[in-house]
Amino acid sequence: MTLNGGSGAGGSRSAGRERDRRRGSTPWGPAPPLHRRSMPVDERDLQAALTPGSLAATAAGTRTQGQRLDWPEGSSDSLSSGDSGSEDGVYKVHAAGAPGVGKSALARIFGGVEDGPEAEAAGHTYDRSITVDGEEASLMVYDIWEQDGGCWLPGHCMAMGDAYVIVYSITDKGSFEKASELRVQLRARRQTDVPIILVGNKSDLVRSREVSVDEGRACAEVFDCKFIETSAALHHNVQALFEGVVRQIRLRRDSKEDNARRQAGTRRRESLGKKAKLFLGRIVARNSRKMAFLAKSKSCHDLSVL
Ligand SMILES: Nc1nc2c(ncn2[C@@H]2O[C@H](COP(=O)(O)OP(=O)(O)OP(=O)(O)O)[C@@H](O)[C@H]2O)c(=O)[nH]1
């Protein structure tokens, strides 16, 4: 996030920033008039905000305020009364990446916060309810990744996310390499199958491109995550990114439920002969491994499939 030496959490956070490390940036115009959904946080606020109760309360507050939160253009998103699928009702999404790649810009677009002085005061956490594929989801996007590659609360950042958006700038090879590092660190910390989306931002800066689309896609395939290129400046693919995040979380949730159902079914079939059971199990496992491999190797750019 572009943070001037302001007050509060934002001010202290920005104190050690090395602004000249930012690359390929051009000023961009104000965001379309959206409802603002952000809040300033400091470390204590964040600790409190991370408790399941307060997250649920935030989500509930979002709904009771009854505001409609629209994407910029041509969106089918709307506020509805349904529940989102995460345990506490809010999907927690972390934006990570090297300095100056556009994490804050993307988060602010999601939160509907306009660029400029208002954004400086807005804080680093953005919540919003969106409807994806006819089902409402509440998202809390955390833009709290520090420039030294850590986070205000590293344990929390790595442990509490329902999804991670690892951003690099297509104009900065170093940020691309950093993204791979982060991906490795994240997988080392998170044993669970948490969705990670690799985001090549600043796709509008075509002349300064240092990372090709193919390199981005290949990296996502190697690291087993999803891939999308965005331009926060042009608001290009930002909606697709956050809708994709929701779809990825849901797909994993659904696949866990399927597995649980399959296991329950297996227990019911215990009366079947042992040999037949083993035989069927092996065929199913072999097929699903094959299918998973094929799907993974072809679909890193498709955020609507696993
Ligand atoms: N041209 C262009 N500039 C962008 C884009 N996204 C962000 N920027 C600019 O890049 C600079 C850094 O953006 P930020 O959103 O502050 O980046 P960040 O990753 O949050 O940076 P830190 O908070 O320092 O980690 C700002 O000047 C933005 O206006 C983009 O898609 N295209």
- Map out the domains of the chain as residue ranges: 88-252
In the chain, % of residues over pLDDT 90 = 35
203 is annotated as contributing to ligand binding? yes
33 is annotated as contributing to ligand binding? no
Residue 68 has pLDDT above 70, yes or no: no
Fold annotation for 88-252: Rossmann fold (3.40.50)
In whole angstroms, give the CA distance from residue 216 to residue 223: 11
Q: Ligand 1: which atom is nearest the Cα of residue 205?
A: 1
Closest by CA to 82, choosing from 130, 145, 47, is 130
In whole angstroms, give the CA distance from residue 128 to residue 166: 20
Query: Which two structure tokens, joined as six digits, stand for 147?
Result: 């420039």
In whole angstroms, give the CA distance from residue 148 to residue 158: 15
The confidence score (pLDDT) of residue 26 equals: 38
Q: Is 285 exposed, middle or buried (0-12, 13-18, 19+ CB in 10 A)?
A: exposed
In sequence order, what are the residues at sequence separation of 6 or more whose Cβ sits closer than 8 angstroms to the Cβ of residue 94? 141, 142, 144, 145, 151, 157, 161, 163, 164, 165
Q: Tell me, what amino acid is at 155?
A: G
The confidence score (pLDDT) of residue 257 equals: 72
Helix residue ranges, H only, the chain: 8-14, 43-49, 52-65, 103-111, 117-122, 154-159, 173-189, 213-222, 238-268, 274-298
Q: Are 247 and 133 in contact (CB under 8 A)?
A: yes
Q: Ligand 1: which atom is nearest the Cα of residue 231?
A: 31
Average pLDDT for residues 122-138, to the nearest whole number? 89
Q: Tell me, what amino acid is at 204?
A: D
| C-alpha dihedral (79, 36, 128, 188), degrees to nearest 10 | 170
Q: Which residue has the higher pLDDT, 67 or 39?
A: 39
The confidence score (pLDDT) of residue 193 equals: 76
Which of 2, 106, 178, 199 is the pocket-test mutation for ligand 1 (most atoms within 8 Å of CB)? Answer: 2
Decide: 204 in ligand 1 pocket, CB within 6 A.
yes
Decide: 156 in ligand 1 pocket, CB within 6 A.
no
Q: Tens of pLDDT along 260-275? A: 777 777 666 666 677 7
97 is annotated as contributing to ligand binding? yes
133 is annotated as contributing to ligand binding? no
Q: How confident is the model at residue 300 (pLDDT cuts 50, 70, 90)?
A: confident
Q: Are 128 and 37 in contact (CB under 8 A)?
A: yes
Nearest 5 degrees, angle CA 232-CA 233-CA 239?
Answer: 35
Closest by CA to 144, choosing from 128, 161, 169, 129, is 161
Sheet holding 163-169, edge to edge: 38-39, 125-132, 135-142, 91-97, 163-169, 196-201, 226-229
Which of 14, 25, 167 is the pocket-test mutation for ligand 1 (most atoms within 8 Å of CB)? Answer: 25
Residue 36 has pLDDT above 70, yes or no: no
Decide: 225 in ligand 1 pocket, CB within 6 A.
no
Residue 76 has pLDDT above 80, yes or no: no
Q: Is 287 exposed, middle or buried (0-12, 13-18, 19+ CB in 10 A)?
A: exposed
- The listed range with the strongest mean pLDDT (100-104, 121-125, 283-287, 290-294) is 100-104
Ligand 1 centroid to 92 CA: how many Å? 22
Give me the half-sphere count of Cα atoms (radius 13 Å) on the Cβ side of residue 298: 6
Please, what is the end-to-end C-alpha distance for the chain in angstroms? 30
Q: Is 165 helix (H, G, I), strand (E, B) or coil?
A: strand
Residue with CA closest to ligand 1 atom 6: 102
In whole angstroms, give the CA distance from residue 262 to residue 95: 34
* ipTM entry: 0.99
Ligand 1 centroid to 172 CA: how many Å? 12
DSSP annotation of 128: E
For 21-55, b/e burial (b = at least 16 CB within 10 A) is ebbbbeeeeebeebebbbbbbeeebbeebbeeebb
